[in-house]
C-alpha cells in the first residue's frame, strides 16, 4: 500500500500478557520510529531504526519493551507482561532518509493510524 | 520536555481563516518548527515546517517571528474537515545523533458550520 500500515488496529490484553504490534512502513523508507501516545497527550518517542539497526531506544519506558526490524522493513514492538499503564496508542512512522542526515530539508514522517492497546 | 506551548482549544467559523499560535521560546538556532495535525483515530499528518522564513504550501502558511520564539499556523479557509488536533513541534537533534520530534499537547481546533 501507499501508506504506513499497523496491525492490529485494536488490542485488548489482560495484565501480564505479552503483546506484539506490527508496523509495515512505506516501501524503501530507511527510517522507522515508534511513538507512544497516551490519552489526551501528544506522541512520545520510543525508539528509532535506520534500516535494521536500532540506533536509539532511549524512549523505551522499561525493559519489558522490545522492538526489532530484522530485515530493515517490517518492525515489531513487543511488550512483555503488560501493565495497565501500557494502555496507549502506539504509532509507527517511517521516513525516506535517515534521521541523522535530514538537515534542513523536509523529511517529514509518514505516520500509521496506530494500534490502540488496552490492558485490563 | 515539551519545547512548545499551545492553547488547548480553539473554534473557527467555516470559511474563515484559522490562526493557531505556538510558543517555542527555548528553541535553538538550528531547530526547525514542524506542524502536524491529527484527526480522530488517525496518525499525525504533516502540514508544513520552517526555520526562519515564512512558508506557504497548498495546505497552510507558517509565520515565524523574527526572534523565532513563536509561530502561527494559518489555515486560510477552514473547512469542517480541518477539525483536528494541531501539533506544533520542535525537531531536536538528540545527543544520540537522531533528529526527534518533541510533541506538546496540541490545540484542538473545532471548525463550526
For residue range A5-43, list pLDDT tens digits in order: 999 999 999 999 999 999 999 998 989 999 999 998 999
| The pLDDT value given to residue A104 | 46
The residue of B51, B101, B106 whose CB has the most chain A CBs within 10 angstroms, and thus the best one to mutate to test that interface, is B101
Q: What is the mean pLDDT of residues A77-94?
A: 97
| The pLDDT value given to residue A84 | 97
Residue B32 pLDDT > 60? yes
Distance of residue A73 Cα from the nearest chain B Cα, in angstroms: 19
Which of B92, B98, B37 is closest to A30 using CA atoms? B98
Question: Where residue B101 falls among pLDDT bands split at 50, 70, 90?
Answer: confident
- Looking at the DSSP bridge assignments, the partners of residue A13 are A119
Residue B67 pLDDT > 70? yes
Provide the 10 A C-beta neighbour count for residue B57.
12
Q: What is the mean pLDDT of residues B15-26?
A: 95
B34 vs B3: CA distance, rounded Å: 12
- Residue A74's contacts (CB-CB under 8 Å, 6 or more residues apart) are A22, A23, A24, A25
The residue of B3, B44, B93, B96 whose CB has the most chain A CBs within 10 angstroms, and thus the best one to mutate to test that interface, is B44
Contact A93 B34 (CB under 8 A): no
Contact B49 A45 (CB under 8 A): no
Q: Provide the percentage of residues in chain B whose pLDDT is more than 70.
A: 98
More confident residue, A97 or A31: A31
Contact B103 A44 (CB under 8 A): yes
More confident residue, B55 or A102: B55
Residue B19 pLDDT > 80? yes
More confident residue, B26 or A87: A87
Residue A105 pLDDT > 60? no
| The pLDDT value given to residue A108 | 76
B39 vs B30: CA distance, rounded Å: 29
* 3-class SS of residue A84: helix
Amino acid at each position: 500500500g501507499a501508506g504506513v500500515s499497523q496491525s492490529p488496529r485494536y488490542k485488548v490484553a489482560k495484565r501480564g500478557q505479552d503483546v506484539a504490534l506490527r508496523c509495515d512502513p512505506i516501501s524503501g523508507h530507511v527510517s522507522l520510529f515508534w511513538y507512544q501516545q497516551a490519552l489526551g497527550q501528544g506522541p512520545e518517542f520510543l525508539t528509532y531504526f535506520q534500516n535494521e539497526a536500532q540506533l536509539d531506544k532511549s524512549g523505551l519506558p522499561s525493559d519489558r519493551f522490545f522492538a526489532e526490524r530484522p530485515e530493515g522493513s517490517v518492525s515489531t514492538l513487543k511488550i512483555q507482561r503488560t501493565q495497565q499503564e501500557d494502555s496507549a496508542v502506539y504509532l509507527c512512522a517511517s521516513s525516506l532518509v535517515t534521521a541523522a542526515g535530514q538537515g534542513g530539508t523536509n523529511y517529514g514522517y509518514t505516520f500509521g493510524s496506530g494500534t490502540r492497546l488496552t490492558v485490563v | 520536555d515539551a519545547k512548545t506551548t499551545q492553547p488547548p482549544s480553539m473554534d473557527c467559523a467555516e470559511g474563515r481563516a484559522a490562526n493557531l499560535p505556538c510558543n517555542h521560546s527555548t528553541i535553538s538556532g538550528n531547530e526547525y518548527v514542524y506542524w502536524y495535525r491529527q484527526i480522530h483515530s488517525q496518525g499525525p499528518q504533516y502540514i508544513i515546517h520552517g526555520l526562519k522564513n515564512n512558508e506557504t504550501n497548498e495546505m497552510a502558511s507558517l509565520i515565524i517571528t523574527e526572534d523565532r520564539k513563536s509561530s502561527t499556523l494559518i489555515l486560510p479557509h477552514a473547512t469542517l474537515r480541518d477539525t483536528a488536533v494541531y501539533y506544533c513541534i520542535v525537531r531536536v537533534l538528540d545527543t544520540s545523533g537522531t533528529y526527534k520530534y518533541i510533541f506538546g499537547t496540541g490545540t484542538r481546533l473545532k471548525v463550526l458550520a
